[in-house]
Every structure is written in structure tokens, then in C-alpha cells.
Structure 1
Amino acid sequence: MSLQWEQVVVDSADPAALSHWWAEALGWVFVADGPDEYEIRPEPDRMPGLLFLQVPEAKKGKNRLHLDFRPDDQATEVARLLALGARRPEQSYGAFSWVTLQDPEGNEFCVLGGGTPHT
């Protein structure tokens, strides 16, 4: 099988604003910057990326798919993301070793705690 994961598509009300938020949050670069699509990647030739597209309907309910990130220092990273405009969800998902946050359009993502990533 020769499938290569290229990107995750993010439906958005304002793809320009949301893609710029995520680019700043992740320190990624733009490989496509409007007017109809905005794609960011860790580096220009490194995948997968995030592709932001405009959709007319608003987000409803909890995401069925979300991104997990493992920082060196969870508390520092959560504080940095909150300062950039992330927010904590109104609904609590329980007490876990990760912190669930939402991007400016309400898409959930998790900032994982200590430990090593799965290999």
C-alpha cells in the first residue's frame, strides 16, 4: 500500500484567521495562503499539514476528531496557547493527564502531560 498522509482538513467560518492562529500556535509555515484555501505545514516540504477551508455552517457539538500535542512543559504551553486566544471548553471531559482546549472557532485539541509518546 502506498498511502501518504498529506493533511488534515479543518472546516472553518474564517479560514484566514484560524489558519494564522494555528500557524502562530504551532510555529508552522504557510504553503498556501488564500483566497480559497490556507495550508500550513511544519516546513514547506514536510507533511502532514493543516488545510483550512471555509464552510457556511457553524461547528456543532464535540469534534469527532481532534489533535493531540505533547509539549516539553504542559503548564507553560497551556498558558501560552491561552494567551494566544485558545480557551477552555465549557463542558468538562473529566480529570485527565491532558488539558483540553479549544481554538478560536471552538475546535477541541489536547495538550498532553508528561511521559513519552507512543511509538
Structure 2
Amino acid sequence: MAVSLYQISVDCHDPARLARFWCEVLDWRVLFEDPEEIVIGAAPDALPGMVFLPVPETKAVKNRLHLDLTPDDRDAEVARILALGARRVDVGQGADATWVVLADPEGNEFCVLRPKRTLLD
């Protein structure tokens, strides 16, 4: 039996705002939207996607799961994502880390890695 990652679910206060932030970050688009969820992805038939679901509570602690992004130019991408509304976060990564930890507008941490030449770098 085969299995594939279908989508990543994100609980949030403002699904529309957060979905659009991630569309800008990933150059994805909204694929489905109603009051209970917003689904984004690269294309309707591309996996995985992300779904944003409204919840009443706020994020309280560091995420136990986060996304790692690998750009062509880490520093340029960090600057671009900060301009979209992200902020820098210190989770104890240290000054010599090869990645930058950011948080989306609702505080969900994610990392922007150094460029990868291959999947094994």
C-alpha cells in the first residue's frame, strides 16, 4: 500500500490572511475557499497542499513541526519573506546556524535554509 503526503493542516485565527501569506511565500494559489477552510497549492493536481482551518485559541509554544524552505538565495528570500509579514524568531539556533528561523503572521515557525544543490547536501 502506497501513501503520499496530501496536505499540511494549519490551525489559525485568520485563515484568509495566513493562506494568502503562504501563497506569496511559496508562489502558490488558493485552490478552494469557504468559511471552514482555505486550501492552497501549486496546482489543483500537485501534492502536497496546505489547508488553513479556523480555531479560537492562539498559538502558545514553539511548534513541534515546522516547514523548511530551500531557496536559491537564502538572504534575498529572507528579506522577501520579512517584507511579506514574517518576523525573525530565536528558538536557540545560534549565531552560526546555516538557516534562518522566521515566524509567519500568526507565529508559526519555519526555517529558510541555505541553498541546496542536491537533496543530499
TM over 0.5: yes
Q: Deviations over 1:4-27 (max 9, x none)?
A: 210000000111110011111111
5+ residue gaps, structure 1, are: none
What percentage of aligned pairs have identical amino acids?
51
Alpha-carbon distance in structure 1 between the residues aligned to 2:37 and 2:48: 16
Aligned residues of 1:70 and 1:117 also touching (Cα < 8 A): no
Aligned residues of 1:71 and 1:112 also touching (Cα < 8 A): yes
Aligned residues of 1:86 and 1:104 also touching (Cα < 8 A): yes
Aligned residues of 2:90 and 2:101 also touching (Cα < 8 A): no
Q: Deviations over 1:29-82 (max 9, x none)?
A: 111122210010111210100100011111011000000000000010000000
Aligned residues of 2:91 and 2:101 also touching (Cα < 8 A): no
Q: CA RMSD in A?
A: 1.4
Alpha-carbon distance in structure 2 between the residues aligned to 1:20 and 1:41: 11
Determine whether 1:9 maps to 2:9.
Answer: yes
Determine whether 1:45 maps to 2:45.
Answer: yes
Give how far 1:3 is off.
1.4
TM-score scaled by length of structure 1? 0.93
Runs of 4+ in 1 over 6 A off after TM superposition: none
Aligned residues, how many? Answer: 119
5+ residue gaps, structure 2, are: none
Alpha-carbon distance in structure 2 between the residues aligned to 1:117 and 1:75: 19
3-state SS in 2 of match to 1:25? helix
Matches within 5 A, 1:22-101: 22-89=22-89, 91-95=91-95, 96-101=97-102
3-state SS in 2 of match to 1:51? strand
In structure 2, do the counterparts of structure 1 residues 2 and 90 end up closer, same or farther at CA, with 3 Å as the change threshold? closer
Give how far 1:114 is off.
3.2
Alpha-carbon distance in structure 2 between the residues aligned to 1:109 and 1:38: 20
Aligned residues of 2:71 and 2:77 also touching (Cα < 8 A): yes
Alpha-carbon distance in structure 2 between the residues aligned to 1:82 and 1:117: 26
TM-score scaled by length of structure 2? 0.91
